[in-house]
Chain A
Amino acid sequence: MDWFNRPEIIVVTGKVPLRVSELSVIIEGLLDSPLLQDILVRGEVTNYTHHARGHRYFSLSEKGGGNTSAIIKCVMWRSDAERLSFNPTEGMEIIATGTVRAYAPHGSYQLQVKEMRKAGLGEKFLLVEQWKSELLAQGCFSLERKRMLPLYPARIGVVTSETGAVIHDIRTVVARRYPLEIVISPTAVQGEDAHREIACAITRLAGKVDVVIVARGGGSFEDLFPFNHPDVVRAIVACPVPVISAIGHEVDVTLSDLAADLRAATPSAAAELIVPDRMVLIARLKELQSLMSAALQGRVAGAWEEIAEMRDRLRPQRFRRKLEERAHNIVDLSDRLERAFSNRIGREKLILAEMKTALDSRNPRAVLARGYCVAEKGGAIVRRTAAIEQGDSIKIRFYDGSSQVIVERVDHERDL
């Protein structure tokens, strides 16, 4: 090496040579650009290796010929890879979310992948987002339209697969808590046409049940996809009775869950939310029964009190006093009656005596006693001479008797 030439190089370039580590730092700094942070990259998986430690190494490459073709190395650390819902395979089209970082030890840059979805799925995610905003605008998820579950449902409609654990779980819970009628409306719960079938299965229950459970066991985003479909959401909204959803695991929220009147974590939980526990009902019944007994006992006790009070009021002393009062009253009254009566009699006697005197003064016998006579002809008193003629037989009444006489002559003294 020409030791003495070195300063000349510096002179030529005007720059001090960087150490490799310094260069790496600069590159790292450049790669910090927001353009390379949390980005979505679509590509085909190549050179996929699943490291023993759990990390995944692969490349994303772009199909196409000529200068459109490109490749980027990728790494997905174990902590992120554990959340993968599928196993990436060679040639799979995926959409990765991640950040570009330089890896100084290898002198390379790579995409550190946080999440990965199958490319087709990515489109489905976008579709769900689009449906969500549309249905939201239509008020399908509004809280105002959430209905209360019936207190004592008679028939429960279950929209689910005929086979599978879901219906078994619901049956078990219902049979234990509150046996009633379960109406199963069977449907496919995944697949291309599932959304139409599910919507039909919900609609078919209208008018037949008091409440509907729409349920499905756990599954991947793709498995649960039909429950995001607007057909299903609208069928739930249009359902005349409350709908309770139990779709997938608690962490998976489908649009059907958002539209349902209530969301349950599992099908069993849905059944528990819907049917009351008959043990609780029986306990409540017992409570009502003892309340009723207590009420009747209270009523009887009240009746006893009433009787005691009445007996008190009927005590003999009281009664005797009442009788004495009455007897006194009667004596009083009879006194008054007697007094009134004797007064009246006295007055009447007086009147009678007066009348007697008056009558006496008018007694014709008194006149006869003084020496007068009364002449009668044919029973009538003769007041005038005109009433008799010579030869008439008339009766002369004296004080002490009478005589029958013949009229010898009639002298009219005055012509009255």
Chain B
Amino acid sequence: MAAVRLSWSGLIMKETYETKVEQLKQIIEKIEDGTTGLDESMKLYEQGAVLVKQCELMLTEAELKITTLSRDA
């Protein structure tokens, strides 16, 4: 996968990481479900692998960002 440089904003973590992990769980459930076709299962697995990679990147490439609010607001 092309190196997705995540400009680390916590927002990405909150809205994307959480949903990605959620999607991953759904994919697993679908594959486990016998009614999903084999072809479909393979496609789902590929999608899942991409999601895992993205999540790992998010966690490992995360950088701390510090903002200080002005006192007179």
Contacts and interface: CB of A to CB of B under 8 A. Distances in A.
Contacts of A303: 38
Given A281-B59, A292-B48, A181 B10 contact: yes
Q: Which 5 A-B pairs have the closest CB atoms?
A: A154-B10, A154-B14, A295-B31, A179-B62, A179-B64
Contacts of B49: 289, 292
Contacts of B28: 288, 291-292, 295
Contacts of A210: 10, 14
A162 interface: yes
A179 B21 contact: no
Interface in B1-43: 8-15, 17-18, 21, 24-25, 27-28, 31-32, 34, 36, 38, 41-42
Contacts of B31: 292, 295-296, 298-299
A152 B17 contact: yes
A183 interface: yes
Interface of A: 150-155, 162, 171, 174-175, 178-187, 197, 201, 204-205, 208, 210, 278, 281-282, 284-285, 288-289, 291-293, 295-296, 298-300, 302-303
A288 B24 contact: yes
A187 B69 CA distance: 10
A46 to B, nearest CB: 45
Contacts of A302: 34
Given A204-B73, A299-B41, A154 B25 contact: no
B52 A288 contact: yes
A185 B41 contact: no
A161 to B, nearest CB: 12
B67 A182 contact: yes
Given A179-B63, A184-B67, A153 B14 contact: yes
Given A179-B64, A204-B69, A299-B36, A282 B18 contact: no
